[in-house]
Amino acid sequence: GGGGCPLLLRFAFPDWAYKPESSPGSRQIQLWHFILELLQKEEYQGVIAWQGDYGEFVIKDPDEVARLWGIRKCKPHMNYDKLSRALRYYYNKRILHKTKGKRFTYKFNFSKVVLVNYPLLEVGSAPFLLAPCPGGAHGPDCPPLTPEVLLGGREMGGGGG
DNA sequence: ATCGGAATTT
DNA sequence: AAATTCCGAT
């Protein structure tokens, strides 16, 4: 099954990043997942990279990031104006905020350094993959890599509450 | 460049 | 619900 969109990209990311598009309340990969994917890969250092404070990153080539995002979502008319609008929707969700005074610079609201030794992730240049798990990547104290863990126990989808 | 409302799409 | 499209204001 599945739509006919891009099959070119399969990153080492866990299942929650790829919920089936047809299931209720689910969608394709979210923009902030995609941003993390790019940040994780050294080949995109010239396009987007960690820079400055912890969790802070700069979009060095806005047009290129928008182009890549457009490819992923099959939106050939994607541009930075539209991509950045989607990023701004993350402000109220507390996923991102803008670093004021720094051009094209945003910051993830990571609450803690909790991402550790995850077997599916290339550690690479990500500054939040630092603390080792007490019992190793599969130990009892090593949290699973979920959006809640990533952003600090926040519920990502609405629902009752 | 950055922001955020509004309508629309998915 | 998340994103896309469009756009006036700062």
Compare A112 and A52 and report the one with higher pLDDT: A52
pLDDT category, A118, cuts 50, 70, 90? very low
Phi and psi at A92, nearest 5°, equal -70, -25
Amino acid at A46: G
State which protein residues have CB closer than 7 Å to strand C: A 25, 27, 30-32, 69, 73, 75, 77-78, 81-83, 85-86, 89-90, 93, 156-159
- Answering whether pTM is above 0.85, one says no
The β-bridge partners of A57 are: A50, A106
Strand B nucleotides within a 7 Å radius of protein CB atoms = 1-6, 10
**Which nt has its C1' nearest the CA of A159?**
C1
Q: State both tokens at A40.
A: 């994780």
pLDDT in tens, A70-98: 999 999 999 999 999 999 999 998 889 99
pLDDT category, A109, cuts 50, 70, 90? confident
